[in-house]
């Protein structure tokens, strides 16, 4: 009797173990199927965004797929394109950042519409010797009465250039180029015009960075660096940006 009872219990235990293992296999298979379906959905969304050259969205879908389902065939399949999308996404973001540094404006002043493109220096400078740093602005202006011009604007300090002076302009990592400049005898704005506005415009249009070293009335010189790579030359009709 005892042997029979023991045999029944062992059989029941084995059946229980077998059922539990089968249940685990079913759960694992169901989970794998869910992951496969989810990964394929993300892969399809990635492919759609990649084909549309929406690099930011492609990067987001690709990142979600590779982070959540790294071992799926779908994740392995998109890996090369995902790496490409990341590079292009970074490039697109940088292009947008550079473009956003420029401000374009059109206003009615005097006898006509003034069109301008302006950008602030990458870092503020101490232009009055006080130790307090302020932005320096570079402006390209077109007006039917005052014609085309380019100039720097200070928020503090002044330019000692009423009789003219020189500035040094450097494109990216090139050699400095001397350019004539002058300070108009007016108190309306702390501005200094750079005579060769056409030359400066072409440099800005083809440079990633433009550095302008200029004298300050408080003594010595300061160098303003402008990240000009995002300039949209179409915003200034009639300005030749050719090489």
Greater model confidence, 13 or 47: 47
In a domain, residue 243? The reply is no
Question: Looking at the structure, do residues 93 and 109 belong to the same domain, yes or no?
Answer: no
Q: Which of 52, 81, 97 is the last residue of a domain?
A: 97
119: left (phi over 0), alpha (psi -120 to 50) or beta: beta
Residue 71 has pLDDT above 60, yes or no: yes
Using an 8 Å Cβ cutoff, are 133 and 120 in contact?
Answer: no
Mean pLDDT of all residues in 35-41: 85
Q: Say if residue 81 is in the same domain as residue 158.
A: no
Domain-terminating residue out of 41, 65, 97: 97
Same domain, 126 and 187: yes
pLDDT at position 6 is 47
In this structure, the answer to whether residues 112 and 200 fall within a common structural domain is yes
Are residue 109 and residue 226 in the same domain, yes or no?
A: yes
- Domain annotation covers residue 170: yes
Q: Are residues 55 and 157 in the same domain?
A: no
Residues in the chain: 243
Query: pLDDT, tens digit, for every residue of 72-101?
Result: 999 999 999 999 999 999 999 999 999 999
> Residue 206: inside a domain, yes or no?
yes
Query: Are 121 and 194 within one domain?
Result: yes
The answer to whether residues 228 and 207 touch, using CB atoms and an 8 Å cutoff, is yes
Residue 141: is its pLDDT beyond 80?
yes
Which of 69, 97, 125 finishes a domain? 97
> Does position 140 have pLDDT exceeding 50, yes or no?
yes
Instruction: Domain count for the chain, please give it.
Output: 2
Q: Are residues 112 and 219 in the same domain?
A: yes
Indicate the range of 35-39, 91-95, 124-128, 200-204 predicted with least confidence. 35-39
In this prediction, residue 243 has a pLDDT band, given cuts at 50, 70 and 90, of low
- CB-neighbour burial class of residue 220 (10 A; exposed 0-12, middle 13-18, buried 19+): exposed
Query: Looking at the domain assignment, is residue 110 inside a domain?
Result: yes
Does some domain include residue 240? no
Q: Is the pLDDT assigned to residue 68 strictly greater than 70?
A: yes
pLDDT at 1 over 60: no
Query: Which CATH number belongs to the domain containing residue 171 in this structure?
Result: 2.60.40
Burial profile 147-179: b = 16 or more Cβ within 10 angstroms, e = fewer: eebbbbebebbbbebeeeeebebbbeeeeeeeb
Q: Identify whether residues 61 and 150 lie together within a single domain.
A: no
Expressed as residue numbers, the domain containing 188 is: 104-235
Q: Which of 155, 136, 133, 123 is nearest to 214 (CA)?
A: 136
Give yes or no: residues 112 and 23 share one domain.
Answer: no
134 within some domain:
yes
Question: Same structural domain for residues 90 and 192?
Answer: no
Query: Same structural domain for residues 203 and 218?
Result: yes
């Amino acid at each position: 009797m005892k042997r029979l009872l023991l045999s029944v219990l062992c059989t029941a235990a084995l059946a229980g173990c077998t059922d539990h293992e089968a249940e685990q296999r079913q759960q694992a298979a169901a989970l794998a199927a869910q992951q496969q379906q989810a990964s394929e959905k993300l892969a399809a969304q990635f492919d759609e965004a990649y084909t549309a050259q929406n690099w930011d969205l492609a990067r987001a879908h690709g990142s979600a797929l590779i982070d959540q389902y790294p071992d799926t065939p779908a994740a392995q399949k998109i890996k090369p394109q995902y790496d490409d999308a990341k590079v292009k996404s970074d490039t697109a973001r940088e292009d947008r950042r550079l473009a956003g540094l420029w401000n374009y404006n059109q206003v009615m002043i005097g006898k006509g519409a003034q069109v301008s493109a302006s950008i602030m220096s990458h870092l503020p400078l101490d232009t009055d010797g006080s130790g307090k740093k302020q932005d320096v602005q570079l402006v390209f202006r077109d007006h039917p009465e005052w014609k085309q011009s380019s100039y720097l604007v200070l928020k503090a300090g002044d330019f000692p250039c009423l009789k003219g002076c020189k500035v040094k302009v450097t494109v990216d990592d090139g050699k400095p180029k001397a350019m004539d400049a002058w300070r108009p005898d007016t108190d309306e704005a702390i501005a200094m015009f750079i005579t060769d506005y056409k030359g400066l415009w072409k440099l800005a249009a083809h440079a990633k960075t433009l550095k302008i070293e200029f004298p300050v009335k408080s003594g010595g010189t300061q160098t303003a660096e402008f990240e000009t790579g995002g300039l949209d030359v179409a915003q200034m009709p009639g300005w030749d940006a050719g090489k």
